[in-house]
Amino acid sequence: MNINDFFSTLFSFPVNVFFIPFVVFSLIMLVDLVFNVVDGFTADLDIFDLDNIPGSGLLLPPVLSKVPLTVAMCVSFFIATVAAFYVSLLIHSQLSGIAILFANLISIPLIAYAGLAVSSWVLKPLIPLFDKKKAFATVDFVGLRARVHSSIINEYMGEIVVLHKGSEFLLDAVSEPDIDIQYGDDVIIVSKDSTSSRYFVAKADR
């Protein structure tokens, strides 16, 4: 097969049913990587929200709801394009006339479902990369020892530095009134104010 036959097959029915959307979603994904526009338009859309649809797992793999829309569609249409390409070659080599049209029509939903199923298997290991809740590890600073970073700490303001697993964290902190805590002092983080996200600290014993 030469290059002309290759592109001719890509743009012929039924391969073009999957190839053209693959190209479109690939371009959208590239644009989104630069400008991050897709999240703004799809933030409130549950296009693959399958939780409330009985038997939905048999129709659409739930994995696809856990990755960005453009990634899911791009991978699904790519796999479907590859499958449709070889299925089309097989159909044209084995059939002729009107039988080719019927075989192509029947193959489209089968290839589409296969593309979704295979893409869900391919994308499953990548789900943690797209999980925003797990994108950044949370650290419980309560009970840890810290060093005062600001000139003083009082009941209104202050900053501390916590060294945790080789990383330094700069946190807003306050203390009880009438406690003399100055720059460089060691403190213990006692609790956290969930409203202001500031930490209450007490002077540590040396």
Position 85 scores a pLDDT of 95
**Residue 53 in this model has a pLDDT that exceeds 50:** no
Position 201 scores a pLDDT of 92
What percent of the chain is modeled with pLDDT above 70?
81
Supply the pTM of this predicted model: 0.57
Among 6-10, 46-50, 88-92, 151-155, the minimum mean pLDDT is found in 46-50
What's the Cα-to-Cα distance from 161 to each of 151, 170, 174, rounded to whole Å? 13, 5, 13
Split at pLDDT 50, 70, 90, the class of 205 is confident
Q: Fill in the DSSP letter of residue 65.
A: G
**Residue 14 in this model has a pLDDT that exceeds 70:** yes
In whole angstroms, give the CA distance from residue 69 to residue 44. 12
Where along the chain do its domains lie?
Answer: 3-134, 145-203
Q: Considering all CA atoms of the chain, what is the largest pairwise distance in Å, rounded to the nearest integer?
A: 93
Instruction: Indicate the SS3 state at residue 53.
Output: coil
Provide mean pLDDT across the span 178-185: 85
**Residue 50 in this model has a pLDDT that exceeds 90:** no
Split at pLDDT 50, 70, 90, the class of 51 is very low
Could you name the CATH architecture of 145-203? Beta Barrel (2.40)
pLDDT in tens, 124-174: 888 777 765 554 556 788 889 999 988 888 888 899 999 887 778 889 999
pLDDT in tens, 62-100: 667 778 878 888 999 999 999 999 999 999 999 988 999
In whole angstroms, give the CA distance from residue 170 to residue 160. 6
Average pLDDT, the chain: 82
